[in-house]
Each structure stands twice: as structure tokens, then as C-alpha cells.
């Protein structure tokens, strides 16, 4: 599941996706000046770009969260509008 919307998720203002193992949030706050994130769900490759034209690539495994007991919305402090 990518960016679960029920319960609602929160934009990741850190610019880093959250990988809970069973759910992944790639809403990395592009509308607020963060990163636009794309995830290849089969291969695990992550591509990101921002409004300044910077590009970065990584693997979703690099973003594994240790807080598996929290929902995506709780981990970042609540729901966004």
C-alpha cells in the first residue's frame, strides 16, 4: 500500500518517505516546497526531484522506520488538510 488515505496520512516535511514495511508514504511535501517522490513498487527504486531542479535517487529500504507500532498519520503528528 502506498500513501494510505484511510486513515489519513501526513505529508513528510522531512522530504523522506516513511516505510513501515506494510505501508509506505511517499507524500514528501512537494506542494510545500519539499520533494516530488516516485516509487517503483516492484523494484524498490525511489526517485525524487524538487522545485530547484535537484534530483536524488535511493532505495525504499533506506527509509525503513523503526516505529512500526504507529500509523503513518501518527508518526508525523496528525492529519494534513
Q: What is the pLDDT of residues 30-79, one digit of tens each?
A: 999 999 999 999 999 999 999 999 999 999 999 987 554 444 444 444 43
DSSP 44: -
Assigned domain for 80 exists: no
pLDDT of residue 69: 41
Assigned domain for 1 exists: no
Per the structure, the count of domains in the chain is 1
Domain span at residue 39 reads: 18-73
Assigned domain for 5 exists: no
Residue 37: CA count within 13 A, CB half-sphere: 28
Assigned domain for 78 exists: no
pLDDT of residue 10: 80
pLDDT of residue 8: 65
The CA distance from 42 to 51, in Å, is 27
Q: To which residue does cell 507500532 refer?
A: 69
Assigned domain for 11 exists: no
Global pTM? 0.71
The CA distance from 37 to 52, in Å, is 14
Assigned domain for 10 exists: no
Amino acid at each position: 500500500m502506498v500513501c494510505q488515505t484511510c486513515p489519513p496520512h501526513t505529508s513528510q516535511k522531512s522530504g523522506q518517505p516513511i516505510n513501515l514495511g506494510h505501508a509506505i508514504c511517499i507524500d514528501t511535501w512537494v506542494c510545500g516546497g519539499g520533494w516530488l517522490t516516485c516509487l517503483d513498487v516492484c523494484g524498490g527504486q525511489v526517485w525524487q526531484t524538487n522545485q530547484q531542479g535537484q534530483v536524488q535517487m535511493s532505495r525504499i529500504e533506506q527509509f525503513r522506520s523503526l516505529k512500526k507500532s504507529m500509523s503513518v498519520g501518527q508518526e508525523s503528528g496528525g492529519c494534513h488538510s
